[in-house]
Amino acid sequence: MNLLQLPWLEWAILLALVGALGVSRIRNPFRASAWGLAFTGTIFGFTVLAWLGHYFGFKPSERWSLQDYYFGGRFFNLDELSAPLVPMVALLHFLTALATARTKMRRFSFSWSLASEAIRLATFSCHDPWLLIGLLSLCTVPPYIELRNRSKPTRVYVLHMGLFVALLVLGWSLTESVGSQGAQPAWAVVPLLAAILVRCGAIPVHCWLTDWFEHASFGNALLFVTPLPGVYAAARLVLPIAPDWVLHSLGMVSLLTAVYAACMATIQQDLRRFFAYLFLSFSSLVLVGLELVTSISLAGALSLWFSVTLGLGGFGLTLRALEARFGRLSLADFHGLYDNSPALAVCFLVTGLASVGFPGTLGFVATELLVDGAVEANLTLGIAVALAAALNGIAVLRAYFRLFAGKRHAATISLRIGLRERIAVLTLTALLLGGGLFPQLGISSRHQAAQEILKDRQENLRRAERDRSPGGLAARAD
Amino acid sequence: MSDLASVMSWLGIFVVCTPLLLVVVLGISSLLKWQLDEQTITRSVQAAIISGLAAAVAILVLMLIDGTRHVVINMGAWVEIPYYHFSIKFVFDRLSVPMAILSFLLTGTIGAFAARYMHREPGYNRFFVLYALFTLGMVVTSLADTIETLFVGWELVGLSSALLVAYYQERPAPARNGLWVWIVYRISDAALLLAAVVLHHMAGEGDFDRLLGTGPWPDGRASLSEVQALVVGLLFLVAAAGKSGLVPFSGWLPRAMEGPTPSSAIFYGALSIHLGAFLLLRISPILECSVILCVVVVVLGLLTAVLAYLVGSVQTDIKAALSYACLSQVGLIVAEIGLGFRYLALVHLLGNACLRTLQFMRAPTLLHDYHTLENAIGDHLPRPTVPMKRLASARIRSWFYRFALERAYLDWWLTDRIVAPFVWLFQRLDALERRWTDFLSGQASRESDQMKPYSQIEELS
């Protein structure tokens, strides 16, 4: 048997759970950090093997599979969409653990991070709708506990996530009650659509996201949002069954959010809020591409998903490193931090520009594809997408100047970037630049995933047409 | 492929790769914290620029020997999926070769000047990383044979320019001005991106020979309808106006003088400011498709020339005066393009770039030069008479003086009529969001409100 045929994916999920339990028993934060790092690193290795197995066409063997042994079937599997997403999520967890500064080790819970990683890996490899809904709901619990543990206000978060879970359950129950697997009637799909909008932070239900960034630790805030689970839910639950008008509505709301958030990012006075709006704008752009449902726009959206997660992940880790040295930072004035930490300034600029799709980075071709798909649908749409991208670029450079330009900050200790942080940010930078300079592999993989999504959707719509025809209705009545 | 074609192809790749290699060497060493000394940086710059220039001149010579006027170097599809491909292609023709040679020549001259001018500056390495990025951007833009490749170079030039304007970053003013330049460039980039995508849609691909006809420049004929040409052409015009500081974007020009003199010389005297005109020259077959578009281009060019002349006349700072003098010439070049005089525009562009570079590099020693001249003639230099004095009354002159001093109120118009309402609106919306989250959470919901702008910055041990 080939090494790649082992069920690495489920072992990764299991290891994350075991790690969470094990690390929770360690009281010393530095030891917990070391163990957390070891677990997240190993989990990342496992997920890479799982991805390689999928890439080379090896099916995981039933012999070593716990899922097959206990449940007689597979709930967690990789397909074209999820195969690269799973190692990406694991990488983000690993690098976040790696880049956790010693000053933050007491506040960053490695055990909860591992538990969240297990849920996230399971979510991104799950296809069964009800299980996915369960996992998406479960995913909202650790952040709540984090807010409670930090004695922060939880009501905004609880209200929005409660609404998300309720709408998700209601929506899927309604679609199941209709019975048909194809395009669903409006009353069944609208709650599902609303749930996605809440989770993705579309306006006017976006305030939970900025509130979350205000109160959570930066590391956990990043891990909760940057893998874009809301977009994954949209791709799995809404895209295959939603009628065109629902997708267009979702696209319009997302586009409005993308532009609104980009505008808000340019005027923010607080670094975290700036990041939250920047993230919101990009995650909405991914949704815009998803809802245009053409192969180009879908490939663009799926590629941008990668770019957003890695780019904003790296950007977020740089901001976190800055916070670890200087505390919460305001953008109301110039701070002159360049001379204190020039490497952080460079990383800030590279990851920030990568996240806005600067040429030579992973997001460049993705943005091109997305704008191309948008223009194909409507020129105004294309203009709005280009406007959002331009505004985000302005917001990033404004933040850069506010943080790193100005009268030099007189430091009493060395504030240079640490080795672990440097490795974490440079790894993401290398991926962003590597993916940008050699984009063919990534783009063709995302195009293939887009084709699969479109094929599924078309089959579902055809089936619905058949069901709605007189013959189909009679057959169902029988 | 004949031997000569093969040699030209390799030389073409070499022309693009030399500045790329310079970016890689200087950029990676900065990222990995391998501090290069001044001598190594200077030698790397010299090696890259001289070899790139030599290769570009060699291609020109081979083209003249061979009688070829259009050499395309196809680096293959960068990305290719069904219904979409993104090719990297470079073209050596009557437009791109002079522009590439000019880019190498002037960046090389300024590189040599900067090596001394910036000697022992704390940001020496940073300056040359941005300089390398700028050179790469210029070479890629000059030689691009697809609209997407041109966009890549265009963005690189924009970023490096904005960061060089903010080079003296220990003062807030250069950073503010760098941001201003960046905002204008982003508007220009967005317009170019849209133009690229719209053109891509019309022609199915972004190659210039498909978009602008197969003939070598300037003989191509674009196969667009008048309306299509007008839409795409206007987008290109916005992009060109942003990059070249045409009306109404001229306000960034004096702000950009905050950067070191070598960067002022390459951006506003020589290369960057001419990029808009270069873009219009490159897409000139599209201009031919629409008379309205040509009229708009001519009017914009003349308006810019007149305004730049007026504003430049009242400048008291030599760099600002030179930049407006340069801009008035750029306005004329744009008008020439609109009138269809392409070769004239190209020659005008090359001449203006060289002259302004020389003037900018002499600018720091202007007073010394004046004193030398005055000592030589034993008197003050004669002051030119102002023609307005004879033509207009004191009131009109005063109005014009005010108008010119306020830079035709363009900055005021952009700041007060666009930026201020934008900021006001979104600050109100932000306040509304605060009230909403306060209401939902039943208490003050924003920790960031407690933060003071600066005093809270302190190292966490």
Residue of B nearest to A446 (CA): B81
> 241-280 in A: which are within 8 Å (CB) of B?
263-264, 266-270, 272-273
Q: A196 and A232 in contact (C-beta within 8 Å)?
A: no
Which amino acid would we find at residue B188?
S
Compute the CA torsion angle B286, B90, B155, A277 (nearest 10 deg).
Answer: 90
CA A241/CA A182 separation, integer angstroms: 5
> Which of B366, B400, B427 lies at the terminal end of a domain, its last residue?
B366
CA B250/CA B300 separation, integer angstroms: 12
Number of domains in chain B: 2
CA A196/CA A190 separation, integer angstroms: 10
Residue predicted with more confidence, A169 or B202: A169
User: Does residue B453 carry a pLDDT above 70?
Assistant: no
- Name A25's Cβ contacts closer than 8 Å, sequence gap at least 6: none
**Percent of chain B predicted with pLDDT > 70:** 94
Q: Which of A127-141, A249-263, B142-156, B251-265 has the lowest mean pLDDT?
A: B251-265
Q: Whose structure tokens read 């709605």?
A: A468
Q: Is B454 in contact with A387 (Cβ distance < 8 A)?
A: no
Q: Cβ of B427 under 8 Å from any chain A Cβ? A: yes
Closest CA to B100 of B216, B164, B14: B14
Q: Cβ of B455 under 8 Å from any chain A Cβ? A: no
Give the model's pLDDT for residue B455: 46
Give the model's pLDDT for residue B107: 92
Give the model's pLDDT for residue B330: 95
User: Does residue A63 carry a pLDDT above 80?
Assistant: no
> 160-199 in A: which are within 8 Å (CB) of B?
none
On whether both B315 and B423 belong to a single domain, the answer is: no
User: Does residue A76 carry a pLDDT above 50?
Assistant: yes
On whether both B339 and B425 belong to a single domain, the answer is: no
On whether both B300 and B421 belong to a single domain, the answer is: no
Mean pLDDT of chain A: 88
Q: Whose structure tokens read 């949002």?
A: A225
The single-letter DSSP state of residue A6 is S
Give how far B381 is from chain A: nearest CA, Å. Answer: 41
Q: Cβ of B169 under 8 Å from any chain A Cβ? A: yes
On whether both B93 and B41 belong to a single domain, the answer is: yes
**Chain A residues near residue B122 by CB distance under 8 angstroms:** 339
On whether both B70 and B166 belong to a single domain, the answer is: yes
CA A124/CA A77 separation, integer angstroms: 9
Q: Which of A115-124, A403-412, B339-348, B402-411 has the lowest mean pLDDT?
A: A403-412
Give the model's pLDDT for residue A473: 52
User: Does residue B341 carry a pLDDT above 90?
Assistant: yes
In a domain, B388, yes or no: no
On whether both B136 and B220 belong to a single domain, the answer is: yes
Give the model's pLDDT for residue A471: 62
| A3-15 pLDDT, tens digit each | 888 889 999 999 9
Whole-structure pTM value: 0.90
Q: List the domain range (segments joined by +) for residue B431.
A: 410-440
The Cα angle at residue A381 between residues A270 and A350, in degrees rounded to 5: 40
On whether both B157 and B224 belong to a single domain, the answer is: yes
The number of helices, as runs of H, and strands, as runs of E, in chain B is: 20, 2
CA B251/CA B235 separation, integer angstroms: 20
On whether both B357 and B414 belong to a single domain, the answer is: no
Q: What is the mean pLDDT of residues A196-201?
A: 94
Task: State both tokens at A280.
Answer: 């919101």
Residue B93, SS3 per DSSP = strand
Measure CB to CB from residue B31 to each of A346, A368, A404 and give the nearest one: A346
> Which helix or strand (DSSP H or E) is residue A268 part of?
none
Residue-by-residue DSSP string for B182-216: HHHHHHHHHHHHHHHHHHHHHHSS-BHHHHS-SSP
Residue predicted with more confidence, A181 or A162: A162
Q: What is the mean pLDDT of residues B63-90?
A: 86
User: Does residue B459 carry a pLDDT above 60?
Assistant: no
Measure CB to CB from residue B172 to each of A343, A398, A406 and give the nearest one: A406
> Which of B348, B366, B384 lies at the terminal end of a domain, its last residue?
B366
In a domain, B376, yes or no: no
Give residue A474's pLDDT band: very low, low, confident or very high (50, 70, 90). low
Q: Is A353 in contact with B457 (Cβ distance < 8 A)?
A: no
Q: A428 and A63 in contact (C-beta within 8 Å)?
A: no
CA A113/CA A35 separation, integer angstroms: 12
Measure CB to CB from residue B459 to each of A295, A372, A415 and give the nearest one: A415
User: Does residue A283 carry a pLDDT above 60?
Assistant: yes
| B13-39 pLDDT, tens digit each | 999 999 999 999 998 888 777 778 899
User: Does residue A183 carry a pLDDT above 80?
Assistant: no
CA B88/CA B150 separation, integer angstroms: 10
Measure CB to CB from residue A405 to each of B175, B187, B453 and give the nearest one: B175
On whether both B166 and B285 belong to a single domain, the answer is: yes
The Cα angle at residue B401 between residues B395 and B405, in degrees rounded to 5: 150
Give how far B378 is from chain A: nearest CA, Å. Answer: 46
Give residue B219's pLDDT band: very low, low, confident or very high (50, 70, 90). confident
On whether both B357 and B436 belong to a single domain, the answer is: no
Q: Is B200 in contact with A447 (Cβ distance < 8 A)?
A: no
> Which helix or strand (DSSP H or E) is residue B90 part of?
strand B84-93
Residue B314, SS3 per DSSP = coil
In a domain, B400, yes or no: no
Give the model's pLDDT for residue B460: 44
Residue-by-residue DSSP string for A193-220: HHHHHHHHT-TTS-HHHHHHHHHS-HHH
Give bridge partners of residue B122 from the DSSP assignment: none
**Helix ranges (DSSP H) in A25-153:** 29-55, 66-71, 85-98, 110-124, 129-139, 141-149
- Name A135's Cβ contacts closer than 8 Å, sequence gap at least 6: A119, A122, A123, A126
CA A127/CA B429 separation, integer angstroms: 39
In a domain, B70, yes or no: yes
Q: What is the mean pLDDT of residues A9-27?
A: 93
Give how far B398 is from chain A: nearest CA, Å. Answer: 38
Residue of A nearest to B432 (CA): A207
In a domain, B459, yes or no: no
Q: Cβ of A156 under 8 Å from any chain B Cβ? A: yes
Mean pLDDT of chain B: 87
Q: A374 and A292 in contact (C-beta within 8 Å)?
A: yes
In a domain, B449, yes or no: no
On whether both B298 and B424 belong to a single domain, the answer is: no
Question: Measured between alpha carbons, how far is residue B429 from residues A264, A267, B124, B348, B441 in Å?
Answer: 9, 11, 43, 49, 18
CA B174/CA B257 separation, integer angstroms: 9
> 67-96 in A: which are within 8 Å (CB) of B?
none
Q: B194 and A382 in contact (C-beta within 8 Å)?
A: yes
Give how far B284 is from chain A: nearest CA, Å. Answer: 23
| B362-390 pLDDT, tens digit each | 887 887 888 888 899 888 887 776 666 77
On whether both B144 and B204 belong to a single domain, the answer is: yes
